[in-house]
């Protein structure tokens, strides 16, 4: 069955890719299966300089989900270009870089630097990381800031720019519209919802950063709702994510309005999940009377 | 490292809230080294649970793990019975380095509570290589003591309980001097114990096995980092560890 | 063990009450246990006139949670005063009325009418119901409207006024502060998060209303985070809710900043849950070295 | 109505994807009437699953339910075995009114798919009272047919399959005329079937049993309402129903 989809900068053999921060730069999961089967890989966030992230504990389990506050730990954009992109280049898959920063200038620098790397298919602006103290999150909750940032990065970037939306907002459509107006090529959504767990013995938050981002199956209904709402108002392609754990979930996201999907947390539960979902997708599409992924996108009623 | 379904061969309660599971896996039994762990999936739990390998049997192709019931995951794990299957990733992590040990000097093994299992696996391997061991094991109270016999059979063993309800009272660190000389020490246990060991035995070569809350368990998510002295500034407990040289990590 | 707590208008023998809409007016659950054991009962929403609510299906299951779009179905405030409050009056428990409406005037009318009922301990303004087309939800996401509504109802009401916060906002603290300034006596939080599920066979949302409110264990980390954040900035008592399913959960909410708690969805899973939690709470408090509920409130560090 | 833990006595696959569970409950066996259901809790599922009572055995104190595996809840329910326990609320809802039936005229029973179980329980009770029954049962295909013998033994029975793969082909409504005269009809099955019955048999007294997605299952949450002709304008399927007179509800 034809699973291919086309999005700006992304001619994907299938709509499945691992989500940023849940797959590192692919090295570890390449022990489990051939990364060449993936539609694309979204890399872990890149910042201007190396970052060491937050103190530990950085994760906590919740009902059907988890909290994380990694804090954008990464070796810095230059090191990523030098050592990680070449590794991924061995595989027949598209590479999307996730760009983060504290200031507009840092986003610009990271985007500009990444544009010099060969074989990068797109960048994803992470304007919504709730786990770093300064910056980042503000861009994700204020439509004017998001507009400004998107516009500035678009000016610099030759590769298509996707902007990743935070669900921690009152008006997700307003955010998406501001980003559309600024000229973004696509949206990715959703990032994590800010949450907290308290340890009863220590009487303190489990996560050292106190709050963390909630991801996993628990947030799927929120992701589906937001994607559907945005798709009804905004004309950009959407890479959907939030709790995907099966080929059925992928179809639910596509029907809701996503044009491709990313799988995050479930990689931790099942390191084979991307492969299993790709293998199962044709059967599931057929069962629900679709002839291809493109056929789903044509027939869905948003 | 691999993800595989392993069969449960046997289950035993061996101390208060402490369960031993024997699993069937030719592959893991053959390749595992002491200090490595299994990352175990449990139904309806997002995160896998890391549990150290406590011993392997190369003839029976089995791997034994041992855990304390401390929450919903270990509670569920304790419900597994002969005939059921577990989804595990493993053997995960790096183990205790033992290839460069001298044959003619004893090593000191220190285990605290649920840190005892990997120390037990290490004991077996050292014993097979003819390296003499001295062991200090710490437990909360008498009810939690396990594997005493297994250790005694293979070398000098001191049992310490927090409240003195069984044999010696106090912390494992109180009994290091009495253990006499050794070429190197290996330890696994709660963080305060590891910190105390590192700061007491500054001139001794030692390897410590750490615990941290994990996400992926395979080195990808950076949940489990520990600060180090090197250029990178950190290492990953799940992949680079859980065992580190005492002098490379910052506690 | 002393489980009692004092909140404005509410001298509760324990901090446990069923959440609005998840217990009707208590009749059905009175078959399962004596309602007199409850700290309080929060009744199903009351509107000015009888409402028939949304078309069915009205609920869908999600991972560790559920979606609902009941649509404020209720017999109208006068009927509630006539037949439901007298029923609950048989039991030795405090009664809190949940007030909903489409316009400020409807809220005022309902609040005023309820104030004539005897033995009502407090009212809870439901400014956050995401499941009715007109009104309601706007009050819950706009701090100015929330301020105005709270102020007008406070002017009318003799019994203390609690305002129920919607989690579907960017700035929960801003909302809480506006409501505090308007003179509310307390906050209840959180209401449901807007979500959606799509049925793969029909290719349409499962819930007839399309979107529904997500509740249950899945949302607990979001509730804990929001309560904690609000408590650090606002000086009002908080009745906490969102996914409570055990006595341990109750303690987690109290440590996060709640002064009492409500249990919603879990009543459906386990109709005995309120009773079981009340019975288990002393043991759990003792295990974590607390001598009473008040002791938790004193010792917690927000 | 009560919440209780009931033991699983027996499990059988009786047709494709169709499972029969026999449960032990003195209380439910004694009090249940046809049309009532059990509201069953399943681990890690927020909402209970409503499943009709298919029969009771007053001597063995057992209650039989029968369900089709259609999703994760029924899948899990199908994994229950002898010796395990289920948390159920029941008997829930109101049943088919039968006290005012005349003795000397037959009644027509109509069941479609998973609507057959409550009709079977009704058959048994009517039979015990000496009321003659004629039954029309509809199934998807041959593989899904169950309880045919049980019905045949107790009265005239017509089996219809959607595709004609077993006995008659078509819809149950196609075979009502052939069933001859009857004083009243009782039906349970998918909504299109109930709608067709209501609109075809306008002059006949009939009782229909409905399905709807439920929240509480005990009448409190208003998830399961059905529009009615009376002043209130609605009734609750879980509590006032699932059985309603055909002429009181608006479909
Ligand atoms: C490398 C390694 C080896 C381990 N080996 C053993 C062993 O051999 N025997 C044994 O009994 N225990 C061992 N542990 C600890 C064991 O992983 C935890 O006790 C277990 O995860 C608790 O899960 P739970 O669901 O019962 O507890 P919960 O508190 O409900 O767990 C909630 C979450 O916190 C995590 N967590 C809780 N406590 C710990 C902990 N101490 N370390 C890491 N994560 C934790 C869980 O994995 C889970 O993600 C080891 C931990 C690590 C990191
Ligand atoms: C009063 C009543 C009696 C019933 N009796 C029987 C019976 O005897 N045998 C039988 O096989 N089935 C019966 N059903 C239908 C049965 O409840 C559903 O098939 C079952 O709930 C599906 O659960 P699931 O987890 O397998 O499916 P999923 O689709 O995964 O369920 C998801 C959610 O939707 C609900 N749901 C899905 N389908 C239905 C449905 N048809 N009716 C109501 N809720 C639904 C589930 O309860 C659950 O909350 C009855 C339904 C009602 C309302
Ligand atoms: C451990 C972890 C780390 C993450 N790191 C990033 C990141 O660096 N950049 C980013 O844009 N999103 C990051 N995310 C968010 C995910 O990409 C994804 O948007 C979110 O987790 C929802 O998808 P899921 O439910 O499938 O995990 C991270 C999520 C997790 C769980
Ligand atoms: C079926 C249902 C109906 C509800 N009806 C109301 C309502 O009428 N008024 C209201 O303020 N909240 C209503 N709520 C929200 C709950 O009171 C509660 O705030 C929310 O469900 C979170 O708590 P929980 O996770 O314990 O259910 C309803 C929730 C559910 C599930
Ligand atoms: S747990 Fe993910 S890197 Fe160690
Ligand atoms: S399911 Fe709650 S009223 Fe019927």
Q: Is there a contact between C66 and D47 if contact means CB atoms under 8 Å apart?
A: yes
Q: Which residues contact A191 (CB under 8 A, 6 or more apart)?
A: A126, A128, A129, A130, A140, A164, A165, A166, A167, A213
* Per-residue model confidence (pLDDT) at position B24: 97
* Per-residue model confidence (pLDDT) at position C134: 52
Phi and psi at residue C220, in whole multiples of 5°?
-55, -45
C100 vs C94: CA distance, rounded Å: 20
Average pLDDT value for residue range B164-188: 90
Contact A77, A46 (CB under 8 A): yes
Alpha helices in A12-103 (DSSP H): 77-79, 85-89
**Which residue's structure tokens are 């499990």?**
D11
- Chain D: residues touching B (Cβ < 8 Å): 43-44
How far is residue B233 from each of residues B57, B230, B248, C195, D151, measured CA to CA in Å? Answer: 38, 5, 10, 42, 76
**A45-60 pLDDT tens trace:** 999 999 999 999 999 9
Angle at D239 between CA D234 and CA D241, to 5 degrees: 70
Angle at D183 between CA D181 and CA D186, to 5 degrees: 100
**B198-248 pLDDT tens trace:** 998 888 899 999 999 999 999 999 999 999 988 889 999 999 999 999 999
B194 vs B207: CA distance, rounded Å: 10
A88 vs D26: CA distance, rounded Å: 65
Interface test with B, best of A27, A28, A206, A208 (most B CBs within 10 A): A28
Mean per-residue pLDDT of chain A:
95
Q: Which chains touch B (3 or more CB pairs under 8 A)?
A: A, D
Closest CB to C195 among A170, A194, A222? A222
Q: Work out the burial of residue B17: count CB atoms within 10 Å of its CB; fewer than 13 is exposed, 13-18 middle, 19 or more buried.
A: middle
Mean per-residue pLDDT of chain D:
94
Chain C residues in contact with D89 (beta carbon < 8 A): 271
Ligand nearest to C-alpha A100:
3
Whether residue B14 is predicted with pLDDT greater than 90 in this model: the reply is yes
Interface test with B, best of A42, A56, A212, A215 (most B CBs within 10 A): A56
Cβ contacts from A onto B, under 8 A: 94
Q: Does A288 touch chain C (CB under 8 A)?
A: yes
* Per-residue model confidence (pLDDT) at position C9: 96
Calculate the CA C55 to chain-centre distance. Answer: 23
Interface test with D, best of C44, C56, C272 (most D CBs within 10 A): C56
Question: Atom 21 of ligand 2 has which residue's CA nearest to it?
Answer: D49
Strand pairing class (B168-169; B156-161)? parallel
Contact A220, A242 (CB under 8 A): yes
**D219-251 pLDDT tens trace:** 999 999 999 988 889 999 999 989 999 999 998
Q: Which residues of chain A have pLDDT under 50?
A: none
Average pLDDT value for residue range B122-150: 93
Chain C residues in contact with D44 (beta carbon < 8 A): 64
Contact B116, B137 (CB under 8 A): yes
B50's tokens: 């890391």
Ligand 4 atom closest to Cα of C245? 26
Tens digits of pLDDT across chain C (302 residues): 999 999 999 999 999 999 999 999 999 999 999 999 999 999 999 999 999 999 999 999 999 999 999 999 999 999 999 999 999 999 999 999 999 998 899 999 999 999 998 889 999 999 876 555 555 567 889 999 999 999 999 999 999 999 999 999 999 999 999 999 999 999 999 999 999 999 999 999 999 999 999 999 999 999 999 999 999 999 999 999 999 999 999 999 999 999 999 999 999 999 999 999 999 999 999 999 999 999 999 999 98
Tell how far the Cα of A264 is from the centroid of ligand 3, in angstroms.
6
Rg (CA), chain A: 18
B239's tokens: 């992949």
Chain C: nearest CA to D83, how far in angstroms?
22
Q: Does D94 touch chain C (CB under 8 A)?
A: no
Q: Residue B156: beta bridge partners?
A: B134
Residue D50 CB–ligand 6 contact under 6 Å:
no
Strands (E), chain D: 2-15, 18-24, 37-41, 49-57, 62-68, 85-92, 107-112, 133-139, 156-161, 168-169, 185-188, 206-209, 225-227, 234-236, 243-245
A298's tokens: 């044509």
Angle at B56 between CA B55 and CA B62, to 5 degrees: 125
* Crossing angle between the packed helical segments A273-287 and A247-256, to the nearest 10 degrees: 60
The pocket around ligand 2, CB under 6 angstroms, is made up of C 61; D 37, 47, 49-52, 66-68, 70-74, 114, 117, 211-214, 242
Whether residue B139 is predicted with pLDDT greater than 90 in this model: the reply is yes
Whether residue B160 is predicted with pLDDT greater than 90 in this model: the reply is yes
* Per-residue model confidence (pLDDT) at position C135: 52
What burial letters (b/e) apply to C65-89, b meaning 16+ CB within 10 Å?
bbbbbbbbbbbbbbebbeebbeebe
* Per-residue model confidence (pLDDT) at position B231: 85
Ligand 5: which of B1, B39, B236 to mutate, judged by most atoms within 8 Å of the beta carbon? B236
Contact C39, C13 (CB under 8 A): yes
In this predicted complex, what is the ipTM? Answer: 0.96
Angle at C188 between CA C182 and CA C192, to 5 degrees: 115
C95 vs C123: CA distance, rounded Å: 9
Alpha helices in C157-272 (DSSP H): 172-181, 220-233, 247-256, 266-269
Cβ contacts from C onto D, under 8 A: 96
117-136 of B, contacting A, C-beta below 8 A: none
**A72-116 pLDDT tens trace:** 999 999 999 999 999 999 999 999 999 999 889 999 999 999 999
Whether residue B82 is predicted with pLDDT greater than 80 in this model: the reply is yes
Query: Which helix (DSSP H) or strand (DSSP E) does residue D74 occupy?
Result: helix D72-77
Closest CB to C170 among A168, A197, A288? A168
B208 vs B193: CA distance, rounded Å: 10
Closest CB to C70 among D89, D222, D233? D222
Q: What is the reported pTM?
A: 0.96
Question: Three-state DSSP class for C164?
Answer: strand
Q: How many CA atoms lie within 13 A of B24 on its CB side?
A: 10
Average pLDDT value for residue range D98-110: 91
C140's tokens: 């819950």
D182 vs D204: CA distance, rounded Å: 9
């Amino acid at each position: 069955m034809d699973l291919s989809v086309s999005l700006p900068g992304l001619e994907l053999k299938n709509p499945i890719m691992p989500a940023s921060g849940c797959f590192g730069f692919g090295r570890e999961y390449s022990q489990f299966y051939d990364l060449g089967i993936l539609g694309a890989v979204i890399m872990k966030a890149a910042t201007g300089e190396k970052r060491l992230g937050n103190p530990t504990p950085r994760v906590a389990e919740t009902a059907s989900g988890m909290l994380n506050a990694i804090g954008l730990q990464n070796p810095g954009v230059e090191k990523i270009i030098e050592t990680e992109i070449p590794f991924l280049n061995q595989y027949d898959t598209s590479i999307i870089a996730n760009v983060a920063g504290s200031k507009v200038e840092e986003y610009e620098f990271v985007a500009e630097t990444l544009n010099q790397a060969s074989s990068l298919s797109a960048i994803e602006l992470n304007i919504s990381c709730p786990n770093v103290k300064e910056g980042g999150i503000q861009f994700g909750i204020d439509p004017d800031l998001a507009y400004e940032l998107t516009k500035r990065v678009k000016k610099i970037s030759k590769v298509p720019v996707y902007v990743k939306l935070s669900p921690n907002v009152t008006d997700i459509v307003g955010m998406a519209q501001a980003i559309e107006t600024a000229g973004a090529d696509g949206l990715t959504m959703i990032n994590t919802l800010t949450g907290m767990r308290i340890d009863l013995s220590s009487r303190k938050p489990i996560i050292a950063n106190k709050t963390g981002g909630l991801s996993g199956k628990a947030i799927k209904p929120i992701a589906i709702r937001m994607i559907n709402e945005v798709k009804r108002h905004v004309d950009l392609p959407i890479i959907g994510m939030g709790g995907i754990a099966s080929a059925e979930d992928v179809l639910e996201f596509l029907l809701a309005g996503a044009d491709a999907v990313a799988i995050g947390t479930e990689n931790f539960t099942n390191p084979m999940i991307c492969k299993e979902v790709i293998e199962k997708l044709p059967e599931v599409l057929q069962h629900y009377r679709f002839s291809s992924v493109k056929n789903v996108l044509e027939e869905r009623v948003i | 490292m691999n993800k595989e379904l392993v069969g449960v061969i046997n289950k035993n309660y061996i101390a208060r809230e402490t369960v031993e599971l024997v699993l069937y896996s030719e592959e893991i039994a053959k390749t595992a080294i002491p200090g490595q762990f299994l990352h175990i999936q449990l139904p309806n739990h997002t995160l896998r649970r890391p549990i150290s390998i406590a011993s392997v049997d190369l003839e029976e192709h089995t791997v034994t793990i041992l855990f304390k019931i401390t929450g919903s995951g270990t509670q569920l794990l304790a419900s597994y019975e002969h005939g059921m299957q577990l989804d595990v990733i493993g053997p995960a992590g790096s183990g205790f380095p033992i290839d460069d040990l001298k044959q003619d000097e004893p090593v000191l093994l220190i285990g605290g509570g649920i840190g005892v299992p990997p120390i037990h696996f290490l004991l077996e391997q050292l014993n097979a290589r003819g390296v003499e061991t001295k062991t200090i094991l710490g437990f909360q109270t008498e009810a939690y003591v396990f594997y005493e016999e297994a250790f005694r059979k293979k070398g000098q063993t001191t049992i310490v309980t927090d409240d003195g309800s069984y044999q010696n009272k106090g912390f494992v660190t109180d009994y290091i001097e009495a253990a006499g000389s050794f070429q190197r020490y290996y330890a696994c246990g709660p963080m305060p114990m590891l910190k105390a060991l590192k700061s007491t035995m500054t001139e001794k070569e030692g390897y410590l096995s750490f615990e941290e809350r994990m996400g992926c368990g395979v080195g990808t998510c950076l949940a489990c980092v520990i600060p180090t002295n090197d250029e990178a500034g950190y290492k990953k407990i799940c992949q680079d560890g859980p065992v580190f040289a005492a002098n490379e990590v910052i506690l």
